[in-house]
Amino acid sequence: MRKTSPQTGRVGKVVRTCIGCRERVEASTLVRLVAVWESTTLVVTPDLGRSLPGRGAHLHPTERCLELATRRKAWGRAFRTSGPFDLTTMYDLAAPNGSPTGDPRPESEHPLMENR
C-alpha cells in the first residue's frame, strides 16, 4: 500500500506485517513468501524477486518469527487456504533466534535477503 503525503505528494515507504511477530515494518526488511502446490502439500517458498504469482505473506528472516507463525497457525490465514504446509525450505534458510542473519555475514548476504 503506497500512500502519498498530502503536503509533498511523495510516495511513502511500503509497510507490511510479519506473520510471526505481527510487527509492522518496512517491506524491504521482510521476506515475501508464497505457497506453491506440489502434489498433495503446499510448499512455502521464499519469493526473493517479489514477483511470483499468488497471495503472498511476509516474515522476518529469523527462526523466531518462523516458529511464532507456526505456533500461531498463521500460514492458513496468511495464504487464505488450508492444507498441510511444508516448511522445510523455510527452516533450512531461517536464521537462528532473533538474529537477522544468525552468522557473521552482513544481513545483505543472508540467503533470504538475496536479490534486494
Q: What is the per-residue pLDDT across 45-76, written as a single tens digit (0 to 9) for each? A: 999 899 999 899 999 999 999 999 999 999 99
Domain assignment present for 55: yes
CATH of the domain at 54: 3.30.1230.10
Domain assignment present for 104: no
**Burial class of residue 27 in the structure, from the number of CB atoms within 10 Å of its CB (0-12 exposed, 13-18 middle, 19+ buried):** middle
Q: What is the pLDDT of residue 112?
A: 59
Domain assignment present for 24: yes
Total tally of structural domains belonging to the chain: 1
Amino acid (one-letter) located at 53: P
Q: What is the pLDDT of residue 105?
A: 42
Domain assignment present for 108: no
Q: Which three cell numbers stand for residue 48?
A: 526473493
Domain assignment present for 3: no
pTM of the model: 0.72
User: Mean of the pLDDT values across residues 7-13?
Assistant: 69
Domain assignment present for 5: no
